[in-house]
């Protein structure tokens, strides 16, 4: 039995309030900082509070499945990563809520266009149109149309309330900016017709913080912090989308043993360590101390340059991120969310 992130009524209420702020969360950030991992953890966390979750992958890659202990890439058709279930067995009180489901799917421009055409009575010709490469043709003529097709589909999912929480695992930062600014770009360019109305709907979605927010993911390191600060300002200025808390992934745990030398550690453990081992322990200790200092500097700089809440989650020393690791990240997220919602308690 997996442990559950939300086991008390208070935790459930915190999580529901947190996820209730906006139906669509777009998880964005620099390549490789942990967007997919964080998306999986947020999905698991929201479902543990009884909310139904739909995750949207834009690149059809694996990672999300692995985090949920499953295999194979996602598809345009929904798959179930976690079934809605009974209350967790290890719940601390009987108020625990049954888990919500986590479903996942991809959205590609081609599939979104096919569906759009089918919805508008053009289903029979659409397959043939696709075979002629119409999307590439149109995409060449109208910049941003691919992004509008995808975001239009996200908007439709949000409008139809297909889940309590919709998580979008966004492409890496540079592309996310283009992706999210495509709608306002098209709105300026198109004078009328279905493309314009689709773009206008997407602009409305992005401009309403109760419907959509961007959650930026970063690492406590210099380059990722620089990039996330730039991205945050660009998203607010160019897209006008609201930003949720920054998720700082890969935080090293604070290093309590920093003052203990290798020789002292050996003596405390009653071990006769060779000179090589003592040296290796001292090297490791120095590495951790340097890493800790750099991390603290970067976290402080991030807080100073971006007036956004931070949710910090640990670096996990594991070969792959599977369900057990996602549980651990959920615990850290839940603790951070609790602190955000009850700051006085945390300070006392
Ligand atoms: N907190 C963590 N602790 C340890 N490893 C992690 C952590 N978060 C992510 N990773 C690992 O780092 C790698 C990158 O993570 P992930 O795929 O989530 O990043 P991404 O931002 O989605 O990348 P991309 O831009 O390629 O889509 C993966 O191998 C993942 O397992
Ligand atoms: Mg990814």
**Residue range 212-227, pLDDT digits in tens:** 999 999 999 999 999 9
Cα–Cα–Cα angle for 294, 296, 302, rounded to 5 degrees? 100
**Residue range 73-123, pLDDT digits in tens:** 888 889 999 999 855 555 555 556 788 999 999 998 888 888 887 888 877
Let me know if 259 is exposed, middle or buried by CB neighbors in 10 A (0-12, 13-18, 19+). exposed
Question: What is residue 191's predicted lDDT score, i.e. its pLDDT?
Answer: 77
CA of 43 to the centre of ligand 2 (A): 14
Q: Where is average pLDDT lowest: 7-11, 182-186, 291-295, 324-328? A: 7-11
Q: Identify which of 341, 330, 348, 343 has the alpha carbon closest to the alpha carbon of residue 10.
A: 341
**Residue range 35-58, pLDDT digits in tens:** 999 999 999 999 999 999 999 998
CA of 199 to the centre of ligand 2 (A): 26
- Nearest ligand to the C-alpha atom of residue 176: 1
Instruction: Determine contact, residues 29/228, Cβ cutoff 8 Å.
Output: yes
Question: What is residue 1's predicted lDDT score, i.e. its pLDDT?
Answer: 39
CA of 290 to the centre of ligand 2 (A): 29
How many C-alpha atoms does 336 have within 13 Å on its Cβ side?
Answer: 20
Mean pLDDT within 117-140: 76
Residue 273, classed as helix, strand or coil, is coil
> Does the pLDDT of residue 125 top 80, yes or no?
no
Tell the residue nearest (CA) to atom 2 of ligand 1: 315
Q: Which atom of ligand 1 is nearest to the CA of 38?
A: 18
CA of 259 to the centre of ligand 1 (A): 31
**Residue range 137-174, pLDDT digits in tens:** 777 777 788 888 899 999 999 999 999 999 999 887 67
Who wins on pLDDT, 301 or 192? 301
Question: What is residue 35's predicted lDDT score, i.e. its pLDDT?
Answer: 95
Q: Which residues line ligand 1 (CB under 6 A)?
A: 29, 31-37, 63, 172, 249-250, 313, 315-316, 321
Q: How far apart are CA 309 and CA 12, in angstroms?
A: 20
* Average per-residue pLDDT for the chain: 88
Question: What is residue 2's predicted lDDT score, i.e. its pLDDT?
Answer: 46
**Residue range 326-344, pLDDT digits in tens:** 999 999 999 999 999 888 7
Q: How far apart are CA 93 and CA 8, in angstroms?
A: 6
Concatenating the DSSP letter of every residue in 18-51 gives HHTT-SEEEEEESTTSSHHHHHHHHHHHHHHTT-
């Amino acid at each position: 039995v997996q442990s559950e992130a939300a086991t008390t009524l208070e935790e459930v209420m915190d999580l529901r309030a947190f996820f209730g702020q906006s139906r669509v969360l777009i998880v964005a950030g620099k390549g490789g900082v942990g967007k997919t991992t964080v998306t999986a953890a947020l999905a698991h966390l929201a479902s543990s509070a009884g909310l139904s979750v739909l995750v949207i992958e834009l690149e059809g890659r694996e990672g999300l499945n692995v985090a949920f202990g499953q295999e194979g890439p996602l598809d345009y058709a929904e798959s179930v990563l976690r079934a809605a279930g009974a209350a967790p067995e290890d719940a601390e009180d009987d108020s625990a809520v049954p888990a919500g489901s986590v479903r996942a799917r991809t959205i590609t421009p081609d599939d979104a266009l096919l569906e759009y055409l089918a919805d508008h009575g053009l289903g029979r010709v659409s397959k043939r149109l696709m075979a002629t490469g119409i999307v590439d043709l149109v995409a060449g003529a109208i910049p941003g149309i691919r992004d509008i097709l995808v975001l239009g589909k996200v908007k439709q999912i949000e409008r139809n309330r297909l889940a309590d929480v919709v998580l979008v695992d966004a492409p890496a930062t540079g592309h996310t900016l283009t992706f999210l600014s495509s709608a306002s770009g098209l709105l300026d360019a198109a004078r009328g017709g279905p493309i314009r109305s689709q773009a206008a709907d997407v602009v409305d979605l992005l401009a309403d913080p109760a419907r959509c927010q961007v959650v930026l993911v970063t690492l406590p390191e210099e380059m990722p912090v620089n990039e996330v600060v730039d991205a945050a300002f660009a998203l607010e200025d160019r897209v006008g989308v609201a930003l949720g808390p920054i998720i700082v992934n890969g935080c090293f745990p604070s290093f309590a043993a920093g003052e203990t030398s290798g020789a002292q550690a050996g003596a405390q453990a009653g071990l006769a360590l060779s000179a090589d081992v003592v040296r290796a322990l001292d090297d490791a200790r120095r590495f951790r101390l340097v890493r800790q200092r750099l991390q603290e500097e970067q976290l402080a700089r991030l807080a100073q340059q971006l007036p956004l809440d931070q949710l910090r989650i640990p670096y996990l020393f594991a070969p792959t991120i599977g369900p057990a690791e996602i549980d651990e990240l959920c615990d850290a997220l839940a603790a951070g969310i609790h602190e955000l919602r009850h700051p006085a308690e945390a300070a006392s």
